[in-house]
A and B are shown apart, each in its own frame.
Chain A
């Protein structure tokens, strides 16, 4: 049982992950001074669903907060408050608290401080407070009750009331008449009118309980043949005796609080307006009040609750069509990513199988059977289509990570005391799921940097003739098989003189280095570089842009930077669409084929062993390519590849670049700009390869990042160029290398 609950709880958290971004997006749209009722409803629905779900799991703190939040949003929904900047800001802050509370319940985040909750609750209650004054006249109108109901008296004896039904004079005060009509949605949530009646009863002091009168109106109940099993037709009228200890209107409202959106409710003092018409006809036991079978109870909250129902008038057909449309918009299923991975693997195998079938056919002297060839071509197209379709399953819009950045900017600008607006563009651009997951950290860091270092203080901005509010534009778009993400701020740009001085101070470049503007800008990506004089909360923790560059490069991407002093800075991230495939250069080395990521290849050159290769005293080698010294790596030795039987090259492990004394070297570069030359035997091909993990079944291998499967079904290793370069440069005298690095920088 607990397993079942855990599963349901997991579903709830997954839903929260969807609802919270929806809430954020809705709030973002509000800022644009357009209060589209659909948007407000969406916001309200999101908070409401979180609350509903949290309540079923007894997440008290979450429920308490969501409840007040919802009430405040309700004021917005009913038009009692206008969404001005302060209110929207309050809602945003509250949303942050809400998502932190969800994280707390999920046990992925720290406990949320009580005073932070109280602070936000206070602000939300202020909104509710202001609306109450204006709301009074509006509520009076709502008390109109549909006429002509035939009330049905319900025997309370069958209703768990343990006290004997004693006739007693009504209390002196006028009784409160509560009229409510549950909508079908109330039942579909697993709630029941009975619960509401019990709730009302609980309001009464014990000796008064038997004085509650419950009447069921079944006026709207159609003939049974016409009744829809999914609809709720019954209306209930409850007379509650009031008095010194009796319930107040607010108490009653509280009982209906959970269902306010799926239940019409009227509370009047004194006799109900239709009391004269009442003709009690049937005495019914309350255990079976509904003519319809009760919809299946679901423990999880329905994500598409019909939340926005006006208090009195509900047109049933309209409501149901609306519901259908909503569901169509969100027609999706949840699939375990592991299963998709499996599907990807199998499709990959299918591609290989198809290729081997083709090569087998052509190896036998080439078949002349035209029909066979035609069908093979159809199979080939189909295979490729399936592969693309499977890839597309993993693709998700970048919206998920972009939306999160709103909060980053909000918090960061709050801390820095700057006013910054984040504009999102191209949120619908789709990239692979794994990329999305890995983009959050680098983007967060870059945005914080832009706010901390890029955007100036409001005063400084106005002095420079710019609006006090800074703008950061975060955009995504596809370009030639890659995705481009741009972060553009309208701040002061990079102060190249200061960057250069810092770099010199930190020993990143030598004082006499001559660098152009771009090279200086690139320095901010150097490890250990941070221009912030004081370590601030935002950035400047020493893990600066080099970490960003590293993270992006790990994703197979590149970062470039453009800066115009006084105008702003533009960072461009260029990323592959998926992490599952890589552009690789297939190189041969001692009979093995290894893959080098094309992104790290600089050039392929042939060097002369006698003239260009130098032996260093410690046994390592460097090669001079266009008078630049680069550490030389004998790939075969580095990877301890077994020597081929017919390998006639001598103890110097020379490659076979054709002529004697010639070496074919592949110059590769890592993210820091350090280079190394790999001695290879030849280049076979360039191809997109599917990345496969080695570490699932084996330990990590130094110098190898992953493996892939070639067209013939054999396994080939993908080189980890970065590690290779680091290990090569460690062997070579470090001082010589610094010079190399300085020249590169």
Chain B
């Protein structure tokens, strides 16, 4: 993943902790329920309004369904279900973030409650989360100001969608 791209300070990003240079990465912050999460901005293809997807048979509970993005069938994941947290009822600001795998060309959509903004994250400040099973939903934690933000492990999610991990995903 490239980190030496042009640094842009996000509107709501933490400017004090954002000296430009290497070893940092721009992330987009969003909320799911009461929690804040972030993902690298370079993995994002687009953000669009939530539209009712087509149900996919035999899908795990966190799969909302499939939508059409310019001729491609893209699966939408309900992140609240996936992460096991509650989601906000009657939320008008729900959006779908379309992301792309780092190695595979697979894409999927993440249904989130709202997008907060963009921030610069110093990679050294990320506290890794070690999980015995290996396939973790999160790749690390990072503190911005007083809040702890969770970094989503996208490749695990994509691998589960593609069926590499069907049994554990269903369990």
Q: Mark A residues whose CB is within 8 Å of B.
A: 345-346, 348-349, 592, 638-642, 692-694, 696-704, 707, 709, 713-717
Q: Mark B residues whose CB is within 8 Å of A.
A: 53-59, 65-68, 70-75, 105-108, 161-163, 166
Smallest distance from the beta carbon of B100 to chain A beta carbons, Å? Answer: 10
Q: Are B58 and A707 in contact (CB under 8 A)?
A: no
Nearest chain A residue, comparing its CB with the CB of B108 = A697
For B105, what are the chain A residues with a Cβ–Cβ distance below 8 Å?
696
For A638, what are the chain B residues with a Cβ–Cβ distance below 8 Å?
57
For B107, what are the chain A residues with a Cβ–Cβ distance below 8 Å?
697
For B53, what are the chain A residues with a Cβ–Cβ distance below 8 Å?
715
- How many pairs of residues, A versus B, come closer than 8 Å at their CB atoms? 81
Nearest chain A residue, comparing its CB with the CB of B63 = A698
For B56, what are the chain A residues with a Cβ–Cβ distance below 8 Å?
694, 698, 701, 704, 717
For A715, what are the chain B residues with a Cβ–Cβ distance below 8 Å?
53-54, 65-68, 73
Question: Would you give 22 A-B contacts (Cβ < 8 Å), ordered by A?
Answer: A348-B71, A640-B57, A640-B58, A641-B55, A692-B71, A693-B73, A694-B56, A694-B66, A694-B73, A697-B74, A697-B107, A698-B66, A698-B73, A699-B162, A699-B166, A701-B58, A702-B58, A704-B56, A709-B73, A714-B54, A715-B65, A717-B54
For A717, what are the chain B residues with a Cβ–Cβ distance below 8 Å?
54, 56-57
CA distance A713 to B72 in the complex (A): 11
Q: Are A592 and B108 in contact (CB under 8 A)?
A: no
For A346, what are the chain B residues with a Cβ–Cβ distance below 8 Å?
70-71
Contacts known (A639-B57, A697-B108, A699-B166); A345 close to B73, Cβ less than 8 A: no
For A696, what are the chain B residues with a Cβ–Cβ distance below 8 Å?
72-73, 105-106
Q: Are B73 and A697 in contact (CB under 8 A)?
A: yes
Cross-chain contact of B72 among A640, A641, A692, A699 (Cβ < 8 A): A692
CA distance A714 to B55 in the complex (A): 11
Smallest distance from the beta carbon of A565 to chain B beta carbons, Å? Answer: 49
Q: Which of B68, B72, B75, B106 has most chain A Cβ within 10 Å?
A: B68
For A592, what are the chain B residues with a Cβ–Cβ distance below 8 Å?
54-55
CA distance A506 to B75 in the complex (A): 46
CA distance A346 to B72 in the complex (A): 10
Nearest chain A residue, comparing its CB with the CB of B56 = A701
Nearest chain A residue, comparing its CB with the CB of B57 = A639
CA distance A345 to B108 in the complex (A): 18
For B72, what are the chain A residues with a Cβ–Cβ distance below 8 Å?
345, 692, 696-697
Contacts known (A697-B107, A699-B161); A345 close to B58, Cβ less than 8 A: no
11 additional A-B pairs beyond A707-B66, A714-B54, beta carbons within 8 Å, are A638-B57, A639-B58, A697-B72, A697-B75, A698-B162, A701-B56, A701-B59, A702-B58, A709-B68, A713-B68, A715-B73
Nearest chain B residue, comparing its CB with the CB of A341 = B71
Nearest chain B residue, comparing its CB with the CB of A345 = B71
CA distance A346 to B68 in the complex (A): 12
Q: Are A700 and B73 in contact (CB under 8 A)?
A: no
